[in-house]
Amino acid sequence: MNNVLVFPMIVPILAAMLLLFFRSNTAVQRWGSVGAMTVVFGTSVWILQQVMLHGILRLDFGEWLPPFGITFVADSFAMLLVTVSSLVTVLCLVYAAFAKDEKRESFFMYPFALLLAAGVNGSFLTGDLFNLFVCFEVMLLASYVLMTLGGEKKQLTEGIKYILINILSSWLFLLGIAYLYGTLGTLNMAHLSVRIAEAGQPPLLTTISMLFLVVFSLKAGLVLYFWLPGSYSTLPAAISALFAALLTKVGVYALFRTFTLLFYHEPSLTHKVIGYMAAATMIGGSIGALAHRDVRKIASYNVVIAIGFILVGLASFNIEAIQGSIYYLIHDILIKGLLFLLVGTIIHLTGKTRFDQESGLIANYPLFGWLFFIMILSLGGIPPFSGFAGKLFIGEGAIGAGHYGLTAIAFLSSLFVLYSLLRVFLIMFWGESSILSKNQIPLSKGMLAPLVALGIITTGLGLGMDYLSPYVSEAAHVLMNPDVYIEGALHNE
Amino acid sequence: MRENDVILQTVSKVAVFIVLTFGVYLFLAGHHHPGGGFIGGLMLSSAFVLLYLAFDVETVNKGLPFDYKKVAALGVLIATLTGTGSLVFDSSFLSQTFAYFNLPIFGKTELATVMLFESGVALGVIGVVVTIIISISEDV
């Protein structure tokens, strides 16, 4: 019994409900939500330490033992993601508190952002496939509201596409769960793993796994990313940063869980397909990132490329590659938050969305300009920033697995990431300043603070990789050895 | 607007009480039989919706001056707090317990903590359904 495991999900929900009573008081809305997520961040750091000390922790809801009841299972993979995503949520909320978008704030923006965080944390922590579906829905319903909040025409057209595609994928998810329950008679993930291993994953189960692959690919934006760039580029800065940092990563998490814990017996088929899909995602994302001149579109396609890159690790399916993916996943949550906050700030400051309409911004906002540059280097995986370790390990793992073509595509895509954003940097920030200093919109310290914090974190994480590595190797160890997870989630206590 | 809705209004005045009673019955039956907070809440909210249909929004709001968004929030708050309440008694999140009491009129009665949780669910459902119906009616 570790009741603390439920806190990352329940604290945001309670805070969101309390905030509904303070609709008119924006100060309470802003700082209440920041406070709640700070509490969540603190608790998750503590749980992560406990997991490192005592191994996998489990909470049985209502004292119903697994596999019958619903459980929350905290292994270091899940807790790392909960910790990082809570941290990014805190910083996005701080940004939103200073951006002062009062129209959205008075229509419950903060409560829904908290519910989104609750759904995300619940998805990471749950040990039950149906509960994963429920947490996905909590997250998606909150995201539907945040997507259309504000009611601009473009938001509504993209919002309807976003909602339709997600309802379709949720339906497929439910169908997959029904198939799995029909064939194996359980939905507890550890118990499923045991039964699939007993059956030796016959073709029927492999077919069901393909259904899950489609579902989670839709959520993660793996190959099926056609909905992503349009919808992410209609949102205000803080919300788009939350979406880019968290939503697709939950899909990636689900892919890792299902294809390391459940369907790992036919890697020559399933993981090969994932490899092809990752390659197609990186190629498509790179083309998209180069083709557009709208900075928000370029940023959205960068999300897509990173998803492909992380999945190269899963396709390679050895310990180095999985470690690399975890490093990169942590890095990507942070850096995509920073990228979207920076892009949103550019639009806030200049009012322009195309990068060729503005130049010389670094003369007006020097610190902001250098932050953008640091972000590009980190995103491209240049040492000493946080993207480097992930790229190195994924490359090592992919070569070890003999995926030379995939490795080549992965590293070429990194070059395209660098090129697509350096182009933005050179044109928008370098050159003749196009805004007179007396006309420039001041960039408030409050809005700059979360950006600087994220910049420091990405640098610090790159330099202090040694402190992170025990957590990551523990997480990779659990992912590569399903028995450890099963022991912790079914038999412990 | 509607010219003559005397029949609807007269029937509603009686029907609302029947619907409300049935809603409460479903809510209480839920512990051992089909029913519960969700279904009971839906039934109760259908009584409110019937009132809004038969009379206009202003009249009903005068009689039932609730902000239904806050009713929903209160419901979810009650439901989650009863879940966390089990932490105080050093048992797992969402644990429940029950006991038998001798009450004056009802005799030997089973009282369960699930009731509190379910009342939160019911309030949540009522709040959400009525909010949806009222906001749709404002659009038309």
Please write the tens of the pLDDT for every residue from A357-395. Answer: 888 888 888 899 999 999 999 998 888 899 899 999 999
Residues of chain B in contact with residue A60, where contact means CB-CB under 8 angstroms, are 92
Q: Which of A3, A18, A62 sits opposite B87 (nearest CB)?
A: A3
pLDDT of residue B139: 65
Q: By three-state DSSP, how is residue A74 classified?
A: strand
Across the interface, whether the CB atoms of B73 and A10 are under 8 A apart is answered: no
Q: Residue B31: which pLDDT band, with cuts at 50, 70 and 90? A: confident
User: Between chains, do B92 and A60 touch, taking CB under 8 Å as contact?
Assistant: yes
Q: Does A22 touch chain B (CB under 8 A)?
A: no
Q: Token pair 């919109």 is at which residue?
A: A441
- To the nearest whole angstrom, how far is the Cα of A95 from the nearest Cα of chain B? 26
How much is the pLDDT for A350?
87
A10–B76 CB contact, under 8 Å: no
**Each residue's pLDDT tens digit, B5-27:** 888 899 999 999 999 999 999 99
Residue of A nearest to B67 (CA): A21
| Nearest-angstrom CA–CA distance, B123 and B49 | 15
CA dihedral A205, A209, A210, A211 (to 10 degrees): 100
Three-state DSSP class for residue A73:
strand
Candidates B70, B76, B82, B92: best to mutate against A (most CBs of A within 10 A) is: B92
B70 touches chain A (CB under 8 A): yes
DSSP secondary-structure letter at A64? P
Residue B83 with chain A: CB contacts under 8 Å: 10
Are residues A18 and B92, on separate chains, in Cβ contact within 8 Å? no
Cβ <8 Å between B95 and A62? yes
Q: Quote the pLDDT of residue A493.
A: 60
Of B76, B87, B92, the CB nearest to A62: B92
- What are the sequence ranges of the domains in chain A? 3-485
User: pTM here?
Assistant: 0.94
- Considering only CB atoms, which chain B residues are within 8 Å of A21? 70, 73
Residues of chain B contacting residue A10, judged by C-beta atoms under 8 Å apart: 80, 83-84, 93
Contact B77 A17 (CB under 8 A): yes
Q: Is the peptide bond before A384 cis (omega within 30 degrees of 0)?
A: yes
Q: Which of residues 44-73 of A touch B (CB under 8 A)?
A: 59-63
Would the pLDDT of B2 be above 60?
A: no
Partners of B80 on chain A (C-beta within 8 Å) are 10, 13-14, 17
Q: Taking CB atoms and an 8 Å limit, are B80 and A61 in contact across chains? A: no
Q: Which residues of chain A have pLDDT under 50?
A: none
Q: Which residues of A touch B93 (CB under 8 A)?
A: 3, 6, 10, 59, 61-62
- Pick B92's closest partner by Cβ from A3, A13, A18: A3
- B73 touching chain A per CB within 8 A: yes
DSSP B70-131: HHHHHHHHHHHHHHHHHHHTTS-TT---EEEEEETTTEEEEEETHHHHHHHHHHHHHHHHHH
Q: How far, in Å, CA of A57 to CA of A54, rounded?
A: 8
pLDDT, tens digit (0-9, with 9 covering 90-100), for A421-434: 999 999 988 888 87
pLDDT in tens, A206-253: 999 999 999 999 999 998 999 999 888 889 999 999 999 999 999 999
Q: Which of A269, A225, A210, A249 is nearest to A116 (CA)?
A: A249
- DSSP line for A163-187: HHHHHHHHHHHHHHHHHHHHHHS--
Q: For residue B84, which residues of chain A lie inside 8 Å, CB to CB? A: 6, 10, 14
Q: A62 vs B87: CB contact, 8 Å cut-off? A: no
Measured CA to CA, the distance from residue A189 to residue A374 in angstroms comes to 40
| Averaged pLDDT for residues B54-68 | 86
Residue B110 pairs in a beta bridge with B100
Tens digit of pLDDT for each residue in A13-36?
999 999 999 988 999 999 999 999
